[in-house]
Structure 1
Amino acid sequence: MTALDPSPRAAADLAAVRPGDSTDPSDVYARVVWNVLVEPGDGVAGALIRTYGAREALRIATSDEAPELAPARARWMPRLQPTAIEAALASARRAEARFVVPGDPAWPTRLDDLDDHAPLALWRRGGHETAAAPTIALVGARAATAYGEGVAADLAGDLAAAGAAVVSGAAYGVDGACHRAALAAGGATIAVLAGGVDRPYPRGHEALLGQIAARGAVWSETPCGAAPTKWRFLARNRLIAAMADAVVVVEAGWRSGSLNTAAHAASLGRPLGAVPGPVTSAASAGCHRVLREYGGVCITSASDVWDMLGARGEPSVADDRPAPEVVRLFDALSARSPRSTTEVARRSGLAPDEAGVLLGFAELEGRVARDDAGLWRATSAGEGR
């Protein structure tokens, strides 16, 4: 057996998460392997698969061919572990999740706009199809004010009642208010998670996510069993933006993660709007930034959203967030448990040499410290967990 072939146990679990599947199982299994090997949005893997197909791309990736892939192989190969692949499939089977690949009837075709950075596959809980409905992404702050949650609920309820599918990230605050209001209106809603669909996050929304799965769908790009990390939240935001016909930021601070979703919406040409708030409210500073810097449309009601669906602009986007590799590096570090460069590389999905360089720069900035054994930990100035 090679990386291209499932074990009997993996083959049985793959059949369980692909009931009645007539697709070539070798190609589907290769996508399961890729799903475990790469972090979301890996453009090198995406381009390789678009060129050769999932199975042949996996053969090339695990061979000595194409020396230009050496940096990518250094990221991927530490994760090529049969037990990890089997565990993802077993977890999906237990959660009654489905493995969805491009070309499936359930595949959200809007995601193809992401080109090489489109997901290689998706996991889904729930089966209510919403592809034909207009899909509106409503996003905002976790630490929302009563104003933010109230406006979010009004927008989501009115849009869902009118037949739109409301997509959001299932977080506390604005996201949760949107999902609950859409469900209360008898409409469909979609949650996109940063971790596995078998790991409800936040834990306090476990019951809500069950309701979403029953009425709409819960999607994730990461394999079952995977934990949400800062990088995966940022990568998840591109899926929320791409999955939607329009994106509205309901309430967000100046540096809210919702602005990352807005940036993706702008780059994809999705209609983008924001709800204004009091000029004295820091909780709405990000919304005002969307209106001013991203060319967003002022949204005060559901009718404004419907009007916006007919307008597409080309707003400029300003984003001063850390590079994705740096975010992933600090996701892999801990302030309490020192880790080797190899372990940091494995956890972050970076090549060991790349992780070593980034750790060196972070040490100069005082964000990480190295002990006498050569192990790394995040300092109080860093961002490790």
Structure 2
Amino acid sequence: MVKVADLSISSSDLSAICAKVRFGNSSEDEIDYFSSIAWSVICEPGDAFAGQLISTFGAARALSLELARTAAARYVSLFAQAGSDWAEMQKFGRFERTLADARERWSPRFSMAKVASAVNTIAALGGWFVTETSEFWPNALLDLENHAPRGLWGIGTPNFDIGRAISVVGSRVSTAYGEYATGELVGPMASRGFSIISGGAYGIDAQAHRATLALGGKTIAVMAGGLDRLYPSGNRELFNEIASKGLLLSEMPPGAEPTKWRFLQRNRLIAALGQAIILVEANARSGAVSTANRGVDLGRPIGAVPGPINAPGSDGCHQLIRGQKAELITCADDILELLGENSTTMPAEVSGLGALETRVLDVIGLTGADFNRIRSEGGLTAAEAEIGIAGLSLLGYIERDSSGWRRSL
């Protein structure tokens, strides 16, 4: 049993740190929760060696063992006591050397001041920190095993239910064609209730987020650095909107810069969070293709949108399709087929509606609306609103709820 004293911090300080960023119900006790925060500050993304220690001993005991600078020889017996297969550690090479290298990487960050600074910064931004024991933890990340993050720092609605989700990625230097294709794919999927996950970059990422927000859908931006270092800065307005209506997530603590390595590691989170990964305009050596390859390793279905045959910005998509790593995607129904779902026509894409029905449906959106809002935002008389509502109800596109009207899924 790990005690607070084993972590070189007082009980009052530990409780104060946890209280600033803890949200929701969790079966994890305060010592374990604090230890997960500490490991998040200490480790670089995807540190499988740290992941192995934590999965074997738990976050708190692994942290106390490292604070005590436990000898490599002692670890051998501790692994046996924990019922862990010592052979599992041999995949990292000679244990003594691996442990020494890890400690060299970790030592500059073994600072309670750094942990407190990260917590204070995210708290000032209205953010929080969750671990895999939280009711809000995305279970899809468990597929990353020892490469899973120690926790997630977030800004936005903490009880945001990611639910069904697809990841949409592509070129930062997008064309009008790519942005159009992104909107055409994302709109129907968001209307169907899918969360749209991307990386917040210029180009296709930003278009995926914006198209989802415009429909009142759920979108998540997974960042490569700390959430006080949002990149690119030119998307600040977009990030603010995502924070207020969706989620900003990062495994990196506040203060961490978005480096090239962290971008590449961030891609594994985007790949894991989506039930499928859709590429729009990606060159052969792009981060989007890296994300797709991560998805292949995780067993996620991959879809790619074809581009003009003379467009190098779509080479990555074409190569994935040609290599049978990705299915060709031309419409939202193709994505549903990729997921094994019924590809019947979606309410958002209904053709043949009258003007009144279309205006009413636009106001109802994904979040629903009461009668007064339908009238005012739709610019309709009471009689016109009633006709539009009646028509949509008969067609089965909307249904009544306690607050008004909402789309039928």
TM-score (norm 1): 0.77
Are 1:39 and 2:44 matched, yes or no? yes
Over 3 Å counting, the alpha-carbon distance change for 1:305 and 1:77 in structure 2 is: same
Counterpart residue identity of residue 305, structure 2 = V
State the alpha-carbon separation in 2 of the partners of residues 150 and 20 from structure 1. Answer: 39
Any conservation in 1 of the 2:212–2:218 contact (CA below 8 Å)? yes
Partner of residue 15, structure 1: 19
| Matching residue of 1:172 | 202
Equivalent in the alignment of 2:60:
55
Contact 2:138 2:273 in 1 (8 A): yes
Alpha-carbon displacement from aligned partner over 1:128-149 (angstroms, at most 9, x marks no partner): 6454632000000101111111
Name the % identity.
45
The aligned counterpart of 1:144 is 174
CA pair 154-242 structure 1, distance change in 2 beyond 3 A: same
User: Would you say 1:239 and 2:269 are equivalent positions?
Assistant: yes
List 4+ stretches of structure 1 deviating above 6 A. Answer: none
- Matched residue type, 1:14: C
User: Relative to structure 1, is the Cα distance of residues 208 and 170 closer, same or farther in structure 2, using a 3 angstrom cutoff?
Assistant: same
Quote the Cα distance in structure 2 between the aligned partners of 1:207 and 1:132.
Answer: 22
Amino acid paired to 1:309: L
> Which digits, 9 at most, give the CA deviation of each residue in 1:164-223, with x for residues without a partner?
100000000000000000011121111100011233221121221121122221110000
Q: Does 1:93 align with 2:97?
A: no
Q: Which residue of 2 aligns with 1:189?
A: 219
C-alpha distance in 2 between matches for 1:6 and 1:172: 44
Code of the aligned partner of 1:64: R
Contact 1:9 1:86 survives alignment (8 Å): no
Q: Is the 8 A contact 1:142 1:173 kept in 2?
A: yes
Q: For residues 193-342 of structure 1, what are the structure 2 equivalents within 5 Å? A: 193-293=223-323, 295-310=325-340
Report how many aligned residue pairs link the two structures: 311
CA distance in 1, matches of 2:162, 2:116: 34
Q: Distance in 1 between matches of 2:313 and 2:11?
A: 51
Q: Which runs of 5+ in 2 are unaligned?
A: 73-95, 342-409
- Of 175-184 and 12-21, deviating more is 12-21
Q: What residue number does 1:363 align with?
A: none
* Letter of the 1:12 counterpart: A
Structure whose alpha-carbon radius of gyration is higher: 2
Partners of 1:3 and 1:10 lie apart in 2 by 9
**Structure 1 unpaired stretches of 5+:** 312-385
Aligned to 2:32: 27
The CA distance in 1 between the partners of 2:25 and 2:336, in whole Å, is 37
What's 1:343 paired with? none
Given that 1:60 and 1:66 are in contact with CA atoms closer than 8 Å, whether structure 2 keeps it comes out as no
Query: Aligned equivalents of 1:6 and 1:211: distance in 2?
Result: 38
Distance 1:44 1:173, change over 3 A: same
The question of whether the paired residues in 1 share the 8 Å contact of 2:55 and 2:146 is answered with: yes
Moved more, 98-107 or 289-298: 289-298
**Residue 266 of structure 1 contacts residue 294 of structure 1 at CA under 8 Å; is this kept in 2?**
no
In structure 2, distance between residues paired with 1:243 and 1:109: 8
CA distance in 2, matches of 1:78, 1:164: 41
Query: Would the alpha carbon gap of residues 292 and 42 (structure 1) be closer, same or farther in structure 2, given more than 3 Å must change?
Result: same
In structure 2, C-alpha distance between the alignment counterparts of 1:49 and 1:9, rounded to whole Å: 23
- How far apart are residue 295 of structure 1 and its match? 1.7
Distance change (3 Å), C-alpha of 1:20 and 1:291: closer
> Structure 1 residues 166 and 20 mapped into 2: Cα distance closer, same or farther (>3 Å)?
closer
* Paired residues for 1:102-121 under 5 Å: 102-121=132-151
Q: 1:3–1:78: structure 2 CA closer, same or farther, 3 Å change rule?
A: farther
SS at 2:280 equivalent: strand
- Contact 1:148–1:174 (CA<8 Å) still a contact in 2? yes
For residues 11 and 184 of structure 2, the distance between their equivalents in structure 1, rounded to whole angstroms, comes to: 50
Change (3 A) 1:6 1:148: farther
Aligned pair in 2 of structure 1 residues 13, 166: CA closer, same or farther (>3 Å)?
Answer: same
How has the CA–CA distance of structure 1 residues 216 and 6 changed in structure 2, closer, same or farther, with 3 Å as cutoff?
farther
Q: Distance in 2 between matches of 1:128 and 1:27?
A: 20
Question: 2:109 corresponds to which residue?
Answer: 79
The one-letter amino acid paired with 1:32 is I
User: Does structure 2 retain, via aligned residues, the 8 Å contact 1:163–1:187?
Assistant: yes
